[in-house]
Every structure is written in structure tokens, then in C-alpha cells.
Amino acid sequence: MRKAFFSAILILFCTAIFAQDFKGSIFYRRSDGKTEPLPFAQIYLIEKAKLIESDENGQFTINLDKRTTMVATYVGYTKDTLIVDPGIPSGEFFLMGENEVDEAVVTSRQLTNTLSRIKPVRTEVITAAGLCKMACCNLAESFENSASVTVGYSDAITGARQIKLLGLAGTYTQLLDENRPVMRGLASPFGLTYVPGQWLESIQIAKGPSSVINGLEAITGQINMEHRKPTDEVPFFLQLFGSSHAMVEGNIASSLQLNEKWSTVILAHASSVLKSIDHNDDGFRDEPQATQFNLSNRWLYYNPSGLQIRFGVRALADDRLAGQMEFKREDNPLTSEFWGSRINNKGINGYFKIGIPLNEENSHNIAVVADYNYHDLDSKYGLKTYVGTQKSLFLNLIYQNQLNDYHRISIGLSGQDDEFREHVIDNRTHIFTPVPSAEQFVYSLGLNRREKSVGLYGEYNYTLDDKVTLVGSLRGDYNNIHGFLFVPRVTFKYSFTDDIIFRLLGGRGFRTANIFADNIGIFSTGRIINLDPIRGDQKNLLEDAWTYGGNITFYLPFGYENNTYLSFDYFRNDFLKQVIVDQEFDIVQALVYNLDGKSFTNTYQVDFSVDPIERFNIITTFRYTDAKVTLKGQGLVERPLTSRFKAVLNLQYATAMNKWTFDFTAQLNGKTKLPNFMAGQDKVIEKDGEYFSPIYPMFFAQITRKFRGIDLYVGGENLGNYRQKNAILNADKPFSEDFNASAIWGPLSGIKIYVGLRLTIWK
């Protein structure tokens, strides 16, 4: 299949025809006259009735065969228009903040969820406007309007969130903070809740393996977060939020331009769940009482010569109290008669990036990226204790050269150094079976590790007008545990016409499994964690997979402003090596072993978006997943706890001048294969000896009223009040072997009503 895949790319590549390009650049002109690139702006081509977008550097390329009027727009900024004749090679657009213009301006609406026309990889962009459609308190809550990403809970107790992309856990998706790898290892179980939604200006979801520049861990795709920028002329932004589930939250952002070259942004977050709630009367808190503080400071030095230096630091502290309602904050989980959980996360991150142009046009340059992360986790789950620390250093040296209009190369050297110290204690002496170490009751798991890798990579990008883009990349790493790892990847994009875009991609990815952090829900069970099948050789932790697929997008000539598109996706993932955590082989243990057989997913998705009238947008999405894995004693079966399908309908209407905005989202979530031990539970469906969850809906709504500099909003989540009953098995016997809170297939909380305020003071 891989041979046929690469042959198809070659055949389509050879059909390309030559044409002439216009290269545009979109800039934000500050009040002091300085300019900055404006990423992901929208450009409307009037004669072609076509909408395109700029890339992350504010640039775009379009083929012109006649005079074309182009209008560049971005939410919160004025428009700029250019009339371009064929033969003109390039042009620039300059947009200003609407607050900086004396005369009245008509505000434009930024699309909320879009599919990138420019990127060779199928990329969904959730814009700042999209992040305001729902509560979006953090990154985990930012994907409700997307069927590409499914978000759920790791268990019914701790509040840990997990995403799924292409039917696989989020651990196989590389998370990036402005193209720096983040949320790896110990930070991953709760990391999605550590990124406040109001800190972000956009999220890009790229399906499938893409660039090798940031490492080899992107198996199902990449999710990149773009934060508020130091150059934003917003010296003060405040967001306040409160919900009926006793959660309160506040965010502050301040972007300051100190002089012509230096600027900074300060981001602060505080949130707390003020009281415990038990809606389903099982004796356990529906959500943990969590208190979180998060502070970030980012700096930018920009020289007119093109030299850029970016650096920043971030610190977080998160304290969670969970478990039975009778368990109090002052109690010790190890001695209390009630099942309780205390989870403390602390972390600090620092990064440095420098970009140095090597010629006046900046067509070739070098960049250095350094990132250091320290994370400390101290947690207790009933009579189990899990503590760990992680120290990680990432270094990347990149050289890029735009050889001419058609060819660009990137070569580089990168390294990753991870030190993990993990300790698991099980004080349930009456059922303790693994061989203890010198300390009584301490698992001797041998998972502490120091993993170092260094890699060389190269990436070649061929662009033929706006017809063809071919990206081929190779990466070779030496890992002190796993030896040499070789990663090839290829991406192909072909435009049959301006409005029909076809993509193919494929490649390989590797990652080292972090047994405890990847499966944090296991601690909220009565299971013994049995690592005997993989104990003693850290090479058994390596996971190896191929992912390949394609996408075709049709931009259709109807709807207001011609924003209409129809998109079809297909992706397949095949594992060569995988670490399996199996709760079905033995009722009293979670058995960890290496894959012995097949493990794959097939994912199909269709997206449709249209503006039938002015200021009214409809987005519909449907995703179907066929996921199977070989489990010990069962053979090839449907992957447990993976929903077969998800359908999303989102409606948004805004009145004139965007004074009122109305958002409504409906989801239909497909059935999920459940572990056999869930037989007989409420709503569980039995068919041919297998057990499934029911199909269920979810509804969300929000109303926003905009004033000058102030947004007030009120909304609701899970308006149908649908919940998974008995999400905690044997909740009345929390210290028994049968206790299990990790088999989650549906929502845990009922209706949530919230109100919020966003205050923006412009410079």
C-alpha cells in the first residue's frame, strides 16, 4: 500500500503545469509606524469570488491570469485593498487596529473554524473568534465545535482530560506552543487544562505526520497553539467567568511595546472550584475541587534588519482535591476511612528563540530554539501514591534557504534530553502481588529513565505556482535507549482548479510510552498494575507507527461572500510496535504488554461550511472511526472506549456591527465498545457477546453582547442534561478490587450555566 501511495504522488506531480504567481504579504501597522506580519488573515478575491488566507508569516501566493481586486481583512483591524495586474510579482497589505482610525469603520467578521487553503497538510484553524463561541476556559474545552478532535475524561475522579485524534489517544498527537514541543510526559495528564483559552489567538490542527523539524513524535498529527503576541496593542485585557458548577476564573493579558525594538506580553490566570458537587448521588465529587495559578511572560526583540529574538518563562501550580464527599482537604488519603485523592502539579518552563537573516531579503536564515521544562507531580489515589519529576531540554538548530520561487530547503540538528523519576507505592498489603523492592510495598517497576536523542533532518519543499506543493523530509535520530530511528515523511498538495484542492501525505513516527502518565486513570481503580511482560528492558517502551491518508476540498460558488466549502478526509494508522494497557485480560489487574498482532485505525470525515445569508454561518461535520487492536486472549477486536462516530452542527448568527452574537452547537456521539467488566451497567447495550455505550446527544449555546471594549456573554453546556450513570463502578466499595472509575464513555456532569465578561482596553 505504501508503494502505491508514493506512486500516486509521483503521477500527480508529473501532471503539473506552469503558471505565474503573485506573492502577497499582510502586515499590521502599529501606531508608531512599525509593522509586524499578520498571520492567518483572510484575503477576498472579488473577481474570482474566492476567499484565501495568509500563512503563519502573513504571506500567501496566488496564480493570476487577469486583473484582480484583493481585499485583506482580519477581525479587529481595518481592511486594505490592492488591484493587481498579471505580471506583478508581489504586493503588500497594511492593516491598522480599528481603534486607531478616527473615522467610523465597519467591523468585519473573522471566520471561526476554517480549513487552510495554503498549508500542504490538511489543517483546521480555530481562530480567536472560534475560541469565543463557547466557554473555552482552557485548551481541553476548545474542540467542542470540531469532529476532528474528541475530548473526554481519563477517569471520573481526577478531572484529567484527554484528546483523541484519528481515533487514537492524544499521546500520539504532538502538541506545540508556537512550534515548540510541549505537554510531554508528566505534564500530559492535566496539561490540556493548563492552557487558558483566553491566552490563545488561534489553534491549528494538522492531521497526519507533517514536518520532522520538531522531532519524530507526531504520529496522528500536530496541534499548534498561537498565544497573544507582545506586539498586540492591547495594554490591558481582562476576562472573568463563573459557572453553576461553582467554578470561577480570571485571566489577564497585557501587551506592552516598550520601544521600537522591545515588546512584551504578560499573561496571568487563576481559577478555583469553590465547592464540591455530587449530582449523581454516588458519594463522589463530580469534579475535583481544583485551584490553579498560571503566569507567563513573553518577550520579543525585533530589529528592522530582520533579526528576531523571542524568549519567555511560565510557571504553574495546580492543587486538586477529589474523591468521596466526606474526604476533606486536611485528611490524609493513606489513613482516611474515606477514599480520597490529592494531586499537586508544579511546573516551570523557559524558552529562547532567535532568527537571524543571512541576506537582505531573508530568503535564507538560521534559527536556534531552546526549551527547558521542569515538572513535579505529587499525587495520591486512595491507598496508592504516584510521585514523579521530569526535567526536559530541547535544542534545535535550523537552516532554511529559499533557493528560488520553486525550491526551499530546511536542514537542521536537534536534540532532546529527558530525565524521568517516577515512584509508585501501593499500600493495599492484602492484595499486593508484585515483587517488592527493599522498601516494603514499593513497586520495583524500573521506569526511571534518562533518555537522550540527537537527530539530523532535512526537508525539501517544491512549489509550482499555486498548483503543486511537494514536501519530502527525512530524519535520522540516535537514541541512547532505542538506537537508530529513521523517519521518512512526504506531503503532496495539488490544485486541480482554484477551488478544488487535493492532498496526500504519509510518514512514520516514534515515541517512548510513559506508562503511568499516559494512563493516569488506572490509579482510580482497584487494579494492580502488572508490568511483568515488559519489565527489565526499556526498549519495550518504544512505539512505532505509520500514518497515511488524503483530503480533497471543494470551495463552492454559493453562499454569502463565497465562504462555502466541502471537504472529505481519509486517514489510516498502522502500528508496528505499541504498548498495550489491558484491563480485560484479568479482572484484578491492568496488564501492560507489547502488541502481538495488528493495531490500526481508519478514519473518515466530511466537513461542510456555508454562510447562507450575511452574518449567518453553518458548519456541519461527521467523522467515522474504525479502530481495532489485538488484545491478549481476545485477538483482533474493536478498540475499547473509542467512539465509532461523531457528528457536529454549529450555527452562528450575528446582528449588524456584531452587537449580538448567537451560537448553538449540537453533537451526536456514536456508540463506544466497552470493556467486558461493564456488562450489566445502566444503559450498556449487549450485542453478540460484546458491550457498547448508547448513542447520545450534547447541546451547547451562547449569547454574546458586544459594547465598546466590553463583551458580555451567557451560555450553557450539556443542555440536554445527559450523563453517564454509574461512571464509578462499585462506588460503594472504593477499596475493593472491583472499584473502577476509568471506563468513561460519556459526560460526567449535568447542565452547566455560565456567565462571563471580556474587557479590552486598546492602546
456541519: which residue's cell? 620
Q: What is the pLDDT of residues 384-407, one digit of tens each?
A: 999 999 999 999 999 999 888 889
Q: What is the pLDDT of residues 743-757, one digit of tens each?
A: 999 998 889 999 999
Say which residue, 233 or 620, is predicted with more confidence: 620
How many residues are given for the chain?
763
Q: How many CB atoms lie within 10 A of CB 658?
A: 16
CB of 215 closer than 8 Å to CB of 184: no
| Nearest alpha carbon to residue 409 among 474, 467, 353 | 474
pLDDT-based confidence at residue 93 (cuts at 50, 70, 90):
confident
Q: What pLDDT sits at residue 744? A: 92
Q: What is the pLDDT of residues 451-463, one digit of tens each?
A: 999 999 999 999 9
pLDDT-based confidence at residue 423 (cuts at 50, 70, 90):
confident
Amino acid at 712: L
Report whether pLDDT(213) > 90.
Answer: yes
CB of 644 closer than 8 Å to CB of 671: yes
The pTM assigned to this predicted structure is 0.86
Q: What pLDDT sits at residue 348? A: 97
Average pLDDT of the chain, as a whole number: 87
Report whether pLDDT(381) > 90.
Answer: yes
Per-residue burial over 119-143, b = 16 or more CB atoms within 10 Å of its CB, e = otherwise:
bbbbbbbbbbbbbbbbbbbbbbbbb
Report whether pLDDT(74) > 80.
Answer: no
Report whether pLDDT(355) > 50.
Answer: yes
Lowest average pLDDT, out of 34-38, 236-240, 349-353, goes to 34-38
The secondary structure element, H or E, covering residue 90 is strand 90-95
Cα(469)–Cα(16) distance, integer angstroms: 10
Cα(691)–Cα(326) distance, integer angstroms: 33
Q: What pLDDT sits at residue 362? A: 77
Q: What is the pLDDT of residues 513-560, one digit of tens each?
A: 999 999 999 999 998 888 888 877 889 999 999 999 999 999 998 888
- Partners of 602 in beta bridges: 572, 626
Cα(254)–Cα(234) distance, integer angstroms: 6
459526560: which residue's cell? 747
pLDDT-based confidence at residue 430 (cuts at 50, 70, 90):
very low
Domains and CATH numbers, the chain: 21-100 (2.60.40.1120), 113-761 (2.40.170.20)
Q: How many CB atoms lie within 10 A of CB 433?
A: 11
pLDDT-based confidence at residue 434 (cuts at 50, 70, 90):
very low
Average pLDDT over residues 351-361: 90
CB of 91 closer than 8 Å to CB of 24: yes
Report whether pLDDT(97) > 50.
Answer: yes
Helix (H, G, I), strand (E, B) or coil at 187: helix
pLDDT-based confidence at residue 63 (cuts at 50, 70, 90):
confident
The secondary structure element, H or E, covering residue 697 is strand 696-707
In 614-669, where do the E strands start and end?
Answer: 616-631, 635-638, 645-654, 660-669
Contacts of 335 by beta carbon, 8 Å cutoff, 6+ apart:
none
Contacts of 121 by beta carbon, 8 Å cutoff, 6+ apart:
206, 207, 208, 210, 491, 503, 505
